[in-house]
């Protein structure tokens, strides 16, 4: 017996699905939109692009086998018309849709799927996403530069691909929906070589029309897109090189529709206090947690009571106020919008007196001196100062080390360098909406290596084993048990207190008066800042 991949989550998001379907049919076609950015686009190659700016752009230029319902975290078929999973969860048989085409007009066939997955996992591609495909059979040898391809990916016929895994993995559907799993045409990649990121050819709703370095990138409608009546807009223009402050001025003058870098912190209150502008701000959750790592291998943070005391010493409400309330206080690693978030968990309540007592019991009645690493971009140094003040209340004297992002990351990757790091500006935002994505690299043993991202150097082998077990629970009938398993893992992490979870950032998207769409499209959890494919122009009516 085989089962459909989607049934497990389908019920969960049925309402959202219907809502977005409504948006599609009624919205008019045509019109344009201008999105502003400060930095130039690094690349539009789906195997390479991995920042917030190009992530969403690539989603509009390329398609993978799987994708998400607009405005939700619900998986849906994209280029695949059908995905069958074997009973043991090891073999995925994917059938492609009929009549799907690349921007160059060629029909997409099963060979393209094999080529694309092999390209992203080929060590010569130097893809930052290669590691996501570790569960595909043959990955280890191919990624090490041996053999002549991914043995786990077999082309059955023009329309069918069979993907064999080396271990059952409940997240594989999400992996197929990552940008890194986008299907690319071999002939275009080979013709462009290293420049494919400048001359992208995909099958997405938009195709690249113009790229003037440092000035603008223009997308225009792909007429043969496989979904009907999409995209809504004829054209999306990305104006590059605009400081967020300048971008806001442009928007206020009607010369831009979405400031891609968001509302600048200094102007946030001004915007929110102006009713006309506040009306155009859409607030939503984000799969993000900002946290302080406590290096569990460095004294005195190797003492769990010290870590707990620090957890109780931090006034999270005040930190949220520092960033103008653009976040909600956190008490656990997972953000509230992530499946597996423990609603009823209370965490470590703010209580400096109890914290001080606990610190005294741990043998630090007089406190101690330590260092707090932080990225040197506003508002992070201000947040670090608040943390510093909170710590001094319980006798801990933390010196702030404010450095460039790359240097903080480098310090965190050394076992004995950074006792505490405020993660702001580098904080974890999920790659895909699954609780497992908050574990491996940042809390698991695999990340507690030199150059890793587990800056707390936390390694609990029992939890690692339970995490592996949870991810092996495939299939719809296990979905709920799996989420529960993950929930208990994160709560047990909090028992060891390697982090102080501080807040979950909220998203505030500002738009002009001339574009519209369901609110969920403007705070789409997968498309940041907005879902370019489904938003429509009021001028088109």
Partner 1 sequence: MQAYLVRRLFESALILLGITLVTFILLYLVPADPARQIAGRSATAETVQNIRDQLGLNDPFFVQYWRYLTALFQGDMGRSYLQRAEVSELIAARLPASLLLMVAAIVTELIFGLTIGIIAALRRNRPADHGLMIFSFVSISAPQFVIGILLLYIFAVKLGWFPIGGYGTFAHVVLPAITLGFLGAGWYSRMMRSSMIDVLGQDFVRTAQAKGLAKGRIILRHVIPNAVLPIIAMIGIDIGLFMSGIVVVESVYGWPGIGQLAWQAIQRVDIPVIMGVTMVSATAIVLGNLLADLVAPMIDPRIKTK
Q: Would you tell me which residues interact with partner 1 (CB under 8 A)?
A: 38-40, 42-43, 45, 48, 50, 123-124, 126, 128-132, 134, 143-145, 194-195, 197-198, 212-215, 239-243, 245-246, 249-250, 252-253, 255, 404-407, 409-411, 413, 428, 431, 441, 446, 449-453
What is d(CA 453, CA 128) in angstroms, rounded to the nearest whole number?
A: 14
Whose tokens are 């496989």? That residue is 226
536 bridge partner residues? 516
Residue with tokens 């001339």: 514
- Nearest residue (CB) to partner 1, 217 versus 358: 217
11 vs 123 by CB, closer to partner 1: 123
Residue 443 token pair: 């809390």
Q: Which position has the token pair 């409608």?
A: 221
Cβ proximity to partner 1: between 428 and 458 the closer is: 428
Cβ 487 to partner 1, closest distance in Å?
22
Cβ proximity to partner 1: between 134 and 149 the closer is 134
In the numeric block, which tokens belong to residue 368? 């101690």
Phi/psi for 101 (5° steps) reads -130, 150
Q: State how beta strands 3-4 and 80-85 pair.
A: antiparallel
**Shortest Cβ 446–partner 1 spacing (Å):** 7
Closest CA to 392 of 372, 414, 413, 410: 372
Q: Which two tokens stand for residue 358?
A: 């606990």
Q: How many CB atoms lie within 10 A of CB 270?
A: 12
Residue 281, φ and ψ in degrees, nearest 5: -100, 130
Residue 252: C-alpha distances to residues 58, 121, 243, 510, 537 (Å): 28, 45, 14, 11, 17
* Nearer CB in complex with partner 1: 21/404: 404
**In degrees rounded to 5, what are phi and psi of residue 206?**
-120, 155
CB 138 within 8 A of CB 122: no
Rank residues 39 and 351 by Cβ distance to partner 1 and give the closer one: 39
Q: CB of 285: closest distance to partner 1 in angstroms?
A: 21
Q: How far is the CB of 47 from partner 1 (least distance, A)?
A: 10
In the bound state with partner 1, the residue whose beta carbon lies nearer, of 304 and 446, is 446
Beta carbons of 390 and 314 less than 8 angstroms apart: yes
Report the nearest approach of partner 1 to the CB of residue 20 (Å): 28
Nearer to partner 1, 15 or 449 (CB): 449
In the complex, minimum distance from the CB of residue 19 to partner 1, in angstroms, rounded to a whole number: 31
Rounded to the nearest whole angstrom, what is the least distance from the CB of residue 194 to partner 1 in the complex?
5
| Residue 422 beta carbon to partner 1: minimum distance, rounded to whole angstroms | 16
369 vs 450 by CB, closer to partner 1: 450
Judged by CB, which is closer to partner 1: 342, or 446? 446
Taking the complex as a whole, the smallest distance from the CB of residue 132 to partner 1 amounts, in Å, to 6
Q: What is the DSSP letter of 14?
A: H
Contacts 24+ apart (CB under 8 A), 486-491: 486/339, 486/340, 486/435, 486/436, 486/439, 487/340, 487/341, 487/342, 487/435, 489/439, 489/463, 490/332, 490/333, 490/334, 490/340, 490/342, 490/435, 490/438, 490/439, 491/332, 491/342, 491/345
CB of 497 to partner 1, least distance (A): 22
- The minimum distance between CB 140 and partner 1, in angstroms, equals 9
What span, in angstroms and rounded, lies between the C-alpha atoms of 234 and 536?
9
Cβ nearer to partner 1, comparing 271 with 359: 271
Q: Which of 363, 357, 281 is nearest to 326 (CA)?
A: 281
Residue 39 has which token pair?
């930095």
């Amino acid at each position: 017996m085989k089962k459909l991949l989607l049934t497990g989550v389908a019920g969960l998001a049925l309402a959202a699905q219907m809502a977005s379907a409504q948006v599609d049919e009624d919205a008019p076609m045509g019109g344009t939109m201008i999105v502003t950015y400060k930095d130039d686009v690094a690349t539009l190659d789906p195997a390479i692009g991995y920042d917030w700016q190009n992530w969403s752009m690539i989603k509009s230029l390329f398609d993978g086998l799987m994708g998400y319902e607009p405005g939700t975290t619900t998986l849906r078929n994209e280029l695949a018309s059908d995905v069958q999973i074997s009973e043991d969860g090891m073999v995925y048989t994917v059938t492609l849709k009929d009549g799907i085409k690349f921007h160059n007009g060629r029909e997409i066939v099963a060979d393209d799927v094999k080529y694309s997955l092999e390209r992203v996992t080929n060590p010569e591609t130097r893809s930052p996403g290669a590691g996501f495909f570790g569960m595909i059979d043959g990955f280890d040898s191919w990624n090490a530069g041996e053999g002549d391809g991914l043995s786990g990916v077999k082309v059955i016929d023009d329309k069918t691909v069979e993907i064999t895994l080396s271990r059952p993995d409940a997240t594989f559907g999400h992996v197929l929906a990552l940008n890194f799993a986008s299907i690319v045409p071999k002939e275009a990649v080979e013709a462009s070589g290293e420049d494919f990121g400048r001359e992208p050819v995909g099958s997405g709703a938009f195709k690249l029309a113009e790229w003037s370095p440092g000035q603008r990138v223009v997308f225009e409608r792909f007429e043969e897109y496989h979904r009907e009546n999409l995209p809504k807009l004829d054209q999306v223009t990305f104006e590059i090189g605009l400081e967020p402050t300048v971008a806001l001025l442009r928007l206020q003058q009607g010369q831009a529709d979405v400031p891609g870098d968001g509302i600048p912190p200094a102007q946030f209150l001004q915007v929110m206090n102006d009713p006309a502008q506040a009306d155009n701000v859409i607030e939503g959750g984000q799969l993000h947690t900002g946290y302080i790592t406590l290096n569990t291998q460095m004294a005195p943070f190797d003492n769990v009571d010290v870590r707990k005391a620090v957890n109780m010493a931090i006034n999270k409400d005040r930190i949220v106020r520092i960033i103008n309330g653009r976040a909600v206080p956190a008490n656990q690693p997972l953000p509230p919008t992530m499946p597996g978030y423990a609603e009823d968990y209370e965490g470590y309540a703010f209580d400096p007196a109890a914290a001080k007592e606990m610190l005294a019991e741990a043998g630090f009645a007089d406190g101690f001196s330590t260092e707090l690493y932080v990225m040197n971009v506003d508002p992070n140094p201000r947040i670090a100062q608040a943390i510093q003040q909170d710590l001094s209340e319980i006798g801990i004297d933390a010196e702030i080390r404010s450095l460039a992002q790359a240097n903080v990351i480098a310090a965190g990757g050394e076992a004995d360098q950074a006792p505490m790091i405020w993660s702001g500006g580098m904080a974890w935002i999920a790659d895909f909406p699954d609780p497992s994505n908050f574990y491996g690299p940042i809390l698991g043993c695999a990340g507690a290596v030199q150059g890793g991202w587990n800056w707390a150097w936390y390694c609990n082998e029992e939890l690692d084993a339970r995490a592996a077990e949870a991810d092996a629970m495939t299939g719809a009938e296990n979905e709920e048990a799996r989420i529960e398993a993950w929930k208990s893992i994160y709560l047990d992490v909090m028992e060891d207190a390697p982090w102080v979870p501080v807040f979950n950032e909220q998203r505030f998207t500002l738009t002009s008066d001339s574009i519209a769409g369901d609110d969920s499209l403007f705070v789409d959890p997968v498309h940041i800042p907005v879902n370019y494919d489904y938003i429509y122009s009021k001028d088109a009516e």
